[in-house]
A and B are shown apart, each in its own frame.
Chain A
């Protein structure tokens, strides 16, 4: 995927009726509309539906009023005041950094732990392998957020012994996120490792390599695409995670992630801070949005790997 999709999108952001007609040797006129033309209209409607809120937010972020009131379809004036207000009145970049740090760190760690387990399930034969795989599948049915009360009380308890990793600490939240390491991703990776030819590690074993070396030097490099997908999905999930972060991070403003910080910012007198919030929403959306657009192809294959054979 050498072409930058964003640039491409900017370049051809409008549907130009002339451009599709000229090159075709296919159907023309009414038949063209029946077979192909209507698809453009469906696509355009879909895009309008998808982008409408984004348009309003972008508009609000550069509008001269900070409040929700007085929205217009076309901006009358453009200013960066809302962004200035956001950076002045909130530790916005601390929140963003906290989110990237916690979600990114946990995603990388989860990816590695998951890959290790997947290697064992894909390459080694041992008692309890099948039950182990089943257990992972079953445990995954019970998302951590359901156990939020227990996790909260557990971390409060931990604070009594190890305050640096208990309730109200980012390290505590990070460790809690590690609990989700073995799960869907393990299955995804095991499926991928199964497709790496076994002859490669067998010949390495003959040459005296250990399983640790095979894992690190052969399997991981060959499985880079699936590692990227698994890590990315895990990052996006954790970047979005709200309930555990809001329960476990305590009240300190500098301790919040983007999700909990922006929520607290906008939740008190909703509507008054709409403009600055809109600015924050746009900037805060960039990390996942860019990752998504640039790694689109990998993600599609990763998402469908679970269900689609082909």
Chain B
């Protein structure tokens, strides 16, 4: 681009310059990008606004303002490069980690999914019952012009009422015009068609008309009635509400026998210990962590799983490293032929998708039909033996993980060996060192310095190696006699995700998140020690 005199610079160029774009094309691209971002966020705001979801709304607006502020400036260059990745990092990595910490402090899980108001509404609604002597009505579901449901009610004496979500109105002759399906009531209501009833089944059956004291008198109902609730598509009955929520004290009171239910850790509980379901999710402090450390049902399995996780991670690193190193030392000799082919073949286990190979090994190690037993002519329960605290399945998992990981270790140690200066070894040889001495005193120390950080990373990876454990054994075989399901080969991450997602026993998100939080801290401690020792942090420049 030749430099034009200042006066000749076009308006577009000046605009491009002020908005921090180098050229008109750059400016157009930038405007296109910002247009898309702002358009999407406008759509998001218009979706969230009617729902009154303020938190996500604020997040969307802040993110958009931040993006516009950064990119519509000719300065703030570092931020231009950092902001896209940072936003992704904040939303999908940092926020979930913090949210995990929060969930760990709650009782979130099966039976405690709703928030407090939703739970109270559900409990009160469930307590509405129809007494045996209640007045029953013939009813027809109606709908008004605004699509709101209502009921046309006929009592045993033939009197006709209109019941809406607001209350009850007595109808006079003349309020109803027409016959059958063509009826029109008060000029706004019409009967639902059969198809509409089918479509809105749940809504119709849950419909109730609230009634007040005045209505009760007029209807001459004996019981203390609260609502006329739909029983079937064409009947309704006066119902009473047995429980009442006292907004002042936050308690739920049984109107019939006077029992008071107080909310304790997300569950309304009476003095005699009886509870109302569902509970609600609530902040319960460190209870989940206390359970992990003190409850006999969890502590036992947790400790075993915890120790095995350590053993698994450490042994995996050691076995893969030793085998990989041995192969690298043996094959890193310039006199060998086919070195590249050998290397390609040896890294095949590492190059295959690990989920696939874990599943393959599961088949190979099958007790009754697996090819390994078949070929050897034996019946070894590789993955299912309960003996010696599952020693055999544990060994099998380690073997499979060795198979999966030695190729990686072979690659990085080969790389490190080839990068090692030959002169040092040469000097040692001249000084009369034997091959073994050179290996012990020179090659290995240099190698460990080079691959040390990768070994730490490998440890951290195996500490959470969900794929191998879950796909190979599913954590099994199960440890006998534990109240919390745990297996002999379970590591912490597979143990905690079973608590969160396994069906059957219900989902305990709170406890699972608490265990995840514990893993976070453990990993943080190892990493800190590891980085401290390898001095990675000091080299940042």
| Residues of chain A having any CB pair with chain B under 8 Å | 5, 8-9, 12, 15, 19-20, 24, 26, 35-36, 38-40, 42-43, 46-47, 49-51, 53-54, 56-57, 60, 67-71, 73, 113-114, 116-117, 119-120, 124, 126, 129-130, 132-134, 136-139, 141-154, 160-162, 175-182, 184, 186, 207-213, 215, 236, 239-240, 242-243, 247, 258-259, 262-263, 266, 270-271, 274, 277-278, 281, 284-285, 288-289, 292-293, 296, 299-301, 303-304, 306-310
Contacts and interface: CB of A to CB of B under 8 A. Distances in A.
CB-based closest 7 A-B pairs: A179-B92, A310-B419, A71-B371, A292-B351, A210-B22, A304-B415, A120-B81
Given A270-B366, A274-B363, A277-B363, 6 more contacts: A43-B331, A145-B464, A146-B97, A146-B493, A242-B470, A304-B411
B524 interface: yes
Given A117-B85, A308-B451, A243 B347 contact: no
Given A43-B330, A150-B97, A181-B85, A285 B369 contact: no
Given A40-B336, A47-B342, A141 B527 contact: yes
Nearest to A213: B22
Interface string B76-109: 0110111011101101111111011001000010
10 contacts: A46-B327, A47-B342, A124-B77, A132-B82, A134-B540, A139-B94, A270-B362, A289-B352, A307-B450, A310-B419
Contacts of B347: 292, 296
A154 B51 contact: no
B213 interface: no
Interface in B417-440: 419-421
A208 B22 contact: yes
B464 A146 contact: yes
B44 interface: yes
Main secondary structure, interface of A, reads helix
Contacts of B1: 207-208
B527 A57 contact: no
Contacts of A143: 464
B353 A240 contact: yes
Given A161-B47, A242-B467, A242-B471, A8 B340 contact: yes
Contacts of A43: 327, 330-331, 336, 342, 346
Given A9-B341, A182-B86, A141 B460 contact: yes
Nearest to A243: B466
Main secondary structure, interface of B, reads helix
Contact of B519 (A126, A146, A266): A146
Nearest to A237: B354
B540 A130 contact: yes
B207 to A, nearest CB: 24
B233 interface: no
Contact of A133 (B20, B338, B345, B540): B540
Contacts of A126: 78
B91 A179 contact: yes
Contact of B78 (A113, A120, A139, A307): A120
A271 B363 contact: yes
Contact of A144 (B86, B92, B337): B92
Nearest to A125: B78
A51 B347 CA distance: 10
A54 B348 contact: yes
A50 B340 contact: no
Interface residues of B, number: 111
Contact of B97 (A19, A47, A147, A277): A147
Given A67-B369, A124-B81, A154-B99, A141 B345 contact: no
Interface stretch (B155-163, B177-185, B290-298, B508-516): B508-516
Nearest to A289: B351
Contact of A263 (B352, B355, B411, B527): B355
B267 interface: no
A12 B336 CA distance: 14
Contacts of B92: 144, 151, 175-180
Contacts of A296: 343-344, 347
A5 B344 contact: yes
A46 B327 CA distance: 7
A299 B361 CA distance: 26
B523 A141 contact: yes
B361 A53 contact: yes
A149 B515 CA distance: 11
B355 A259 contact: yes
A149 B82 contact: no
B88 A178 contact: yes
B353 A239 contact: yes
A308 B416 CA distance: 6
B337 A281 contact: no
A116 B82 contact: yes
B69 interface: no
B370 A293 contact: no
B452 interface: yes
Given A5-B344, A50-B407, A296-B344, A144 B85 contact: no
Nearest to A124: B78
A122 B408 CA distance: 28
Contacts of B513: 149-150
Nearest to A3: B340
A182 B374 contact: no
Contacts of B408: 303
Given A36-B335, A46-B346, A116-B82, A304 B419 contact: yes
Contacts of B224: none
B53 to A, nearest CB: 6
Contacts of A181: 85, 88-89
Nearest to B347: A292
Contacts of B460: 141
A307 B413 CA distance: 10
Given A145-B464, A162-B44, A47 B346 contact: yes
Nearest to B420: A310
A268 to B, nearest CB: 13
A49 to B, nearest CB: 7
Contacts of B286: none
A179 B412 contact: no
A303 B350 CA distance: 13
A236 B457 CA distance: 17
